[in-house]
């Protein structure tokens, strides 16, 4: 009986550690590499503009980290993930509410770039939707799937145009696992 109790508490401790340190563990285990870039959309839907404006940070000056956090939050509040084929245009996603990783990345990118412009940071920073591949312990997992759905995975790079500093996020992973930043490997970013 003591052995079962010890096993139970060991499993419980491991689960708690995995939950508390999920972001750190994810960034250690999983890395992303860009293999291309998606089209960045321009906002043409007034409803989308109003939605972003209503949820902008109420300060005159904000940091890039605050903009990223707010953009992840707005994306997560707006979209629900689907494995089905779905729209990827953020101007229509504000109403459709369902998207796969392509739509999540496109929506986040448009929200982030809007806020960068609003807070006069667009001369320094730009967000771009990237077509990527995931590596688990340096192994490309896309090689193990036959489905065209799993041939790649979209994520977002927020790049400083002056210093080349990069923040990388995966809005769809953030929606489900609450992981903010991801590990980006490689220097094959597009200029």
User: Which tens digits make up the pLDDT trace of 85-104?
Assistant: 888 999 999 999 999 999 99
Q: Rounded distance, CA 182 to CA 174, Å?
A: 10
With a pLDDT cut of 90, the percent of the chain lying above it is 69
Number of DSSP helices (H) and strands (E) in the chain, helices first = 7, 8
Q: What angle do CA 55, 60, 65 make, to 5 degrees?
A: 65
The pTM (predicted TM-score) of the whole model is 0.90
Neighbours of 180 (CB within 10 A): 16
Q: At what angle do helices 46-54 and 64-78 cross, to 10 degrees?
A: 120
User: Which tens digits make up the pLDDT trace of 128-161?
Assistant: 999 999 999 999 888 888 776 678 999 999 999 9
**What is the reported pLDDT for 5?**
82
**What is the reported pLDDT for 4?**
83
The owner of tokens 């007034």 is: 46
- pLDDT grade for 3, boundaries at 50, 70 and 90: confident
**What is the reported pLDDT for 190?**
46
Residue 76 has pLDDT above 80, yes or no: yes
Instruction: Enter the tokens of residue 81.
Output: 């993930």
Query: Does 30-184 carry CATH code 3.10.620?
Result: yes
- Domain ranges across the chain: 30-184
**Cα–Cα nearest to 32, from 129, 151, 153:** 153
Residue 127 has pLDDT above 70, yes or no: yes
Q: What is the mean pLDDT of the chain?
A: 91
Helix, strand or coil for residue 33? strand
């Amino acid at each position: 009986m003591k052995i079962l109790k010890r096993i139970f508490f060991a499993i419980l401790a491991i689960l708690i550690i995995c939950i508390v340190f999920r972001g750190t563990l994810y960034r250690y285990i999983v890395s992303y590499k860009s293999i291309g870039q998606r089209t960045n959309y321009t906002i043409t839907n007034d409803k989308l503009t109003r939605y972003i404006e209503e949820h902008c940070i109420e300060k005159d000056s904000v940091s890039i980290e605050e903009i990223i956090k707010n953009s992840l939050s707005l994306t997560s509040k707006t979209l629900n993930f689907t494995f089905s084929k779905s729209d990827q245009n953020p101007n229509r996603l504000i109403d459709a509410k369902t998207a796969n990783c392509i739509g999540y990345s496109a929506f986040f990118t448009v929200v982030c770039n809007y806020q960068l412009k609003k807070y006069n940071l667009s001369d320094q920073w730009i967000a771009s939707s990237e077509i990527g591949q995931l590596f688990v312990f340096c192994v490309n997992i896309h090689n193990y799937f036959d489905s065209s759905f799993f041939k790649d995975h979209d994520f977002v790079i927020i790049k400083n145009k002056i210093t080349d500093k990069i923040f990388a996020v995966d809005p769809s992973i953030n929606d489900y696992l609450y992981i903010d930043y991801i590990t980006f490997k490689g220097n094959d970013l597009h200029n």
